[in-house]
Amino acid sequence: MTTSTASKTSATLGGRQPSEQAIDAAIDSATRLLRLPTFRDRYAEIADAAAREQLSYRAFLSELLLAECDDREVRRAARRVHEAAFPRPKTLADFDFAANPAINPATINTLAGCGWVSKGQSLCLIGDSGTGKSHLLIALGTAAAEAGHRVRYVLAAKLVNELVEAANERQLSRTIARYGRVELLCLDELGYMELDKRGAELLFQATGGDDGQLVLAVHAACGGEPSEDCVGVGVEVLVDRKRVRSWRRGRVEAGGHRELPRGPGGLLAREPA
C-alpha cells in the first residue's frame, strides 16, 4: 500500500460513519504500511476489552501501543537468540541443579543478570564431562541475547579452522571484524582441542587481543584439578593474557574474576568478583 493509497483511504472515512468492514480494511492497510503486526492482530480484542471496561480512547490507544512495544521486544529477543547460532535451545529453567549439587543456583542466577557482560568481564566454565558446562554456556548466552546483547556461539575447533582458512585466503581481517561486532562470544569445547602456536594466536586475535574488548564465555573441559597444563595453550592464550592467571580454587584473580567452589568432578566457573 502506497502513501497515496493511505491518503485515499483516510479521505473515504472522513465526514461519515464508515462501516465495520471499511474500518477493518483501513486498519489492516495502515498497520501493514506502518509495520505494526501486533496492532493489526490485536486491535479488535483490545477494543472489545476497552469497551467492556469503559476505558477512554487514550487508555485504549495506550494499551494497544504497549502491546505492540512488548511484542516487538519479544521478536527482537528471539531474533538475537537466532542470530547467536546456538546448536540447540537451553535455558536455566531446564538445568538440573539437583543432579549438579556443586553448582550454586544463586551464583548462576546472578550471572544470568548479565552484569558481567555489561562490564566487559569474561566467564570460564571448567569441569569434567557431564557437569553441565555446555548447557550453562548456551543458557547464559541465551539470557544475554534476550537482555539485548549481541551474542555468537561457536565451537572452538570450528572457529580456529575458519580463522586459518581466512588467513590462507587473505580474508583474516574481514573474519575478525565480523566476530568483533558481537558483544559476547560463547566459545565451546575449548579444552577438547590442542592448538598449535598459529591457531592459538589467531584465536587470540579474533577474541579481542591484548585489549580484551570482546567478552568471552568459555567452556574448557578437563579432568581433575584445573591447571594451565590441563586446559592447554588455548586457554593460556585466551585467559591468562586477559589477566586471569591462576586456575586454583578459592583465589580472587587479578583480572577481576573469582573461582566458584566445586566438589570432586564438579563444575568450576570463574565469576566476576
Burial of 26 (0-12, 13-18, 19+ CB in 10 A): middle
Per-residue model confidence (pLDDT) at position 84: 94
Classified as helix, coil or strand, 124 is: strand
Averaged pLDDT in 10-residue chunks for the chain of 273 residues:
49 65 87 88 89 90 90 92 94 89 86 88 78 89 94 91 92 90 87 74 75 60 42 44 35 35 42 42
Q: What pLDDT is recorded for position 145?
A: 95
Q: What order do you get walking across the sheet with 184-188 strand by strand?
A: 151-155, 184-188, 215-221, 123-127, 267-272, 257-259
Locus of grid cell 558483544: 183
List the grid coordinates of 212: 580484551
Place of cell 582458512: 165
Cα separation, 46 vs 41, whole angstroms: 10
Q: How far apart are CA 260 and CA 268, in angstroms?
A: 6
Give the model's pLDDT for residue 14. 52
| Residue 185 dihedral angles phi and psi, to the nearest 5° | -105, 120
Q: Which of 239, 229, 166 is CA-nearest to residue 200?
A: 239
pTM, full prediction: 0.69
Q: What's the pLDDT score for residue 221?
A: 52
**Which of 89, 271, 80, 79 is closest to 183 using CA atoms?**
80
Grid cell locating 74: 519479544
Contact 163, 190 (CB under 8 A): no
CA distance 123 to 115: 12
The CA distance from 26 to 180, in Å, is 45
Indicate the pairing of strand 215-221 with strand 184-188.
parallel
Dihedral of alpha carbons 268, 227, 154, 146, sign: positive
Strand partners, 218: 124, 187
Place of cell 566467564: 123
**Confidence at residue 241, expressed as pLDDT on a 0 to 100 scale:** 43
Q: How many residues comprise the chain?
A: 273
Neighbours of 19 (CB within 10 A): 10
